[in-house]
Amino acid sequence: MQIDKSQIIDLLKSQGKDGDADQAQSELPDQVDPEQHSDLLAKFGINPKDLLGKIPGLGGFGG
């Protein structure tokens, strides 16, 4: 599954992690594969398995 980088940036900002969001903006590819890029996501405190529940439209409460 591919996740748009902007959704991850928005998630980080919603958690008050503006610095991480800025860094993720420059380091993450436009389309993020949670399995392939799990090391990058972990760097920003994101567990790839948690993305399903936190990003609307990916099977979480907002979707």
Q: What is the pLDDT of residues 23-48, one digit of tens each?
A: 999 999 999 998 899 999 999 999 88
What whole-number distance in Å separates Cα of residue 46 and Cα of residue 8? 9
Per-residue buried b or exposed e for 38-59, using 16+ beta carbons within 10 Å of the residue's own CB: eebbeebebebeebeebbeeee
pLDDT above 90: residue 57: no
Cβ(52)–Cβ(39) below 8 Å: no
Confidence of residue 20 (pLDDT cuts 50, 70, 90): very high
